[in-house]
Amino acid sequence: DVKVTQSSRYLVKRTGEKVFLECVQDMDHENMFWYRQDPGLGLRLIYFSYDVKMKEKGDIPEGYSVSREKKERFSLILESASTNQTSMYLCASSPILTDLGGKLFFGSGTQLSVL
Amino acid sequence: QKEVEQNSGPLSVPEGAIASLNCTYSDRGSQSFFWYRQYSGKSPELIMSIYSNGDKEDGRFTAQLNKASQYVSLLIRDSQPSDSATYLCAATKTSYDKVIFGPGTSLSVIP
């Protein structure tokens, strides 16, 4: 079974702190994604990566950055956390195969609260 | 205009009925379409994928795609209380592209 592991299930941070959210997948998938999920707004894409050291902005990249130094690991960084970044953060991975594009495997999520 | 749109619901159906969930997308370049199910407090999980026009059946689930109308649907036959969840429609252009989700439709199956 594909396993996508997010480092923390719950996280509480202070406004202005630099926050790192880590995600590791064990299936050698090329693509990795970071989404945030808020009530009424659904899943919104922050960043994605289709290869090591490659990154593409999603729909809401402002206030975030990412790092992918190894294929299995994709980190989301909140440079200076703000209260409007309180949310559920979901990491996902997917393989690059013709008929499997878009088949995402999600981690269990990190509920981040910024106080 | 959002790229992928769904009726937010909630949609309520009695046990044993057919639940019909709808989705429209705006980017004609989208090639692959997916339905994910998300139980409360859990992560989304893939239940159906469809790539060509027509119907695709898997057990009690049928996905339908009409690229000319930019419309995707999911039918759940013989709905069960365990089907109560939020259903997310998603679309992507290629395997190297972003995957965009709709806001989800909440389904409640009443025993």
Cα–Cα–Cα angle for A14, A18, A19, rounded to 5 degrees: 85
Q: pLDDT tens digits, residue range A30-70?
A: 999 999 999 888 899 999 998 898 999 999 999 999 999 99
pLDDT at A103: 84
CA distances A110 to A19, B15, B29, Å, are 12, 34, 32
Mean per-residue pLDDT of chain A: 92
pLDDT at position B1 over 70: no
pLDDT interval class at B59 (50, 70, 90)? very high
B58 in reach of chain A (CB within 8 A): no
Digit-coded pLDDT (tens) for A94-106: 987 655 567 899 9
pLDDT of residue B49: 93
* Nearest-CB residue to A107 (from B43, B49, B101): B43
- Contacts B100 to A, Cβ<8 Å: 45, 59
- For residue B52, give how far its alpha carbon lies from the nearest alpha carbon of chain A (Å): 11
B43 vs A: CB within 8 A = yes
A98 part of contact set with chain B, CB < 8 Å: yes
